[in-house]
Amino acid sequence: MDEAARDWLDQLRVERGASVHTVSGYRRDIERYLADLRGRGVTDLDAVTPADVERHLEDLRSGACTGRPLAPSSVTRALAAIRGLHLFAVREGAARGDPAARLSAPRTGERLPKALSVDEVTRLLDAAHGGDDPISLRDAALLEVLYGTGARISEAVGLAVDDIDLDEEYPVVRLFGKGRKERIVPLGAFARDALSAYLVRSRPALSARGRGTPALFLNTRGRPLSRQSAWEALQRAARAAHLEAHISPHTLRHSFATHLLEGGASIRDVQELLGHASVQTTQIYTKLSATTLREVYRGAHPRATEPAARRARPPGGAGPMN
């Protein structure tokens, strides 16, 4: 069990680019879970039953194994860690079944995705444009594509050179989402210019170090860029921009959607651009800031503001005749 847990946590950190804080939290959850299982005489993942997992979650809620009851959000995180461990073990052949697959987490209330402000995104992307060497040009193009298209990190690093068209009046990129579902997304001027600079002044030098690949974004050895390397590129720009909060590639996707809706885009359009199968997935972004909602209301509702003629009426003026 310990070996499977170590391998899963390593995958989270290296391949999926999880933050140090996330990995540390999951490690505590899993160590507590495995200790609880051993206390019940369970020492093999194949011997764990759904009842074992449910009993552990109930102990977390009641405080039986922690000394104090945990908040629903903490129990939800623990279940996410447990699910991740068992799913990983099944995929890697370390276990035959997943006892946590059908368990549901407690309701914690709807949480909005983390999004940067427009100013923060500008600072981040300006920092990414700080160099003129091949890696700096690549990183700038990558981050401009992530924010300019709302692409998932897997979609961005999976791009081939032929998936972008910069020659048309309206440049576009072809993205392949979940289930290899294809969608065409426009490229803005900043992303177009960053990609043009990368393709002309950076990618040929990087490609010459490898054996030739159609991948758009390359590493220093001329091979396709990994998700981990893309995450590191984002972290370099975040540090240079002095953005202290943890920023992931998905943060740029959330920011893309939020800023489009705040700018007046319809939820259906944003759904198409993000590649969501259901509009319900996109609806979480519709909870805009109070300031934005007030401005929308003032501009759209016929009785949101007082007519000028009425505002100009002097106090004590004649009222309506009976």
Which stretch of DSSP H or E encloses residue 239? helix 227-240
Half-sphere exposure at residue 261, Cβ-oriented, CA atoms within 13 angstroms: 24
Round to whole Å and give the CA distance between 1 and 6. Answer: 9
Contacts of 148 (CB under 8 A, 6+ apart): 187, 188, 190, 191, 256
Rg of the Cα atoms in the chain: 25
Residue type, 98: D
Q: What is the DSSP letter of 286?
A: G
Answer for the pair 230, 156: CB distance below 8 angstroms, yes or no: yes
List active site positions.
152, 178, 250, 253, 276, 285
Which residue in 71, 130, 136 sits closest to 105, CA to CA?
A: 71
Q: In what order do the strands lie in the sheet with 182-186?
A: 164-165, 172-176, 182-186
End-to-end CA distance of the chain: give it in Å, rounded: 86
Answer for the pair 100, 83: CB distance below 8 angstroms, yes or no: yes
CA distances 86 to 98, 101, 137, 192, 214, Å, are: 5, 8, 40, 43, 36
Round to whole Å and give the CA distance between 61 and 55. Answer: 10
SS3 content of the chain, % helix, strand, coil (to 5): 55, 5, 40
Q: Please provide the size of the chain in residues.
A: 322
Token pair belonging to 225: 């860029």
Answer for the pair 59, 111: CB distance below 8 angstroms, yes or no: no
